[in-house]
Amino acid sequence: MGRVHIPLATLPASTSSNDQVDDHDKIFVINEIKDVVALSDSVSDVVNTTIHNKVPDVLGLFLTAQKRTELFGKLGITNHSSNRKRYLDPLLDYAWVEMLYPDRKASPKQMYQTTTSGKRLLKLLTVSKKNRD
C-alpha cells in the first residue's frame, strides 16, 4: 500500500528561495488504517486537553463564515471577552480559524471561518469520535 501524507497545518507562503522543510516541521506518514485511527485519537486527546472540548463544534460551525456572536449563541455561551479568549483565540493562533477582515479586527462586520488546516483537523476529530462511539 502507498504512503499517504496528512499535514495538520498549512505552511505559510514563503518569500525566500529556500523552500526546504525545516527539522522542526512534522509530517505524519500513514501506512495502514490503524495509523489513521491512532493519529486521530492522539489529535483528539491533545486538542481536548490543551485547548477545549468545543473545538469540533467551533470548527464545524465556522465551515460557513459567521460572526462571533452567532457562534457563541449556538454554543450557548455569552459573547464575553473571556469566552473569546478561551474558545476563539486559540483556534486563531493555531490558524484553524481565520478572520475574513484580518486588517479590521474590531470591525462590527468581522466574520470567521474554518481554514483548510481546521477542516483537516475536523476530519481527524470526526474519525476519532466515530471510533470511540
* Residue range 55-96, pLDDT digits in tens: 889 999 999 999 999 999 999 999 999 999 989 998 998 889
Taking every pair of Cα atoms in the chain, the longest distance, rounded to a whole number of angstroms, is 51
Q: Which of 118, 116, 108, 109 is nearest to 88 (CA)?
A: 118
Rounded CA separation 77/74 (Å) = 8
CATH class of 25-125: mainly alpha
**CA 5/CA 59 separation, integer angstroms:** 22
Residue-wise pLDDT for 110-122, tens only, equals 999 999 989 988 8
Cβ–Cβ under 8 Å, residues 114 and 96: yes
* Three-class SS state of 75: helix
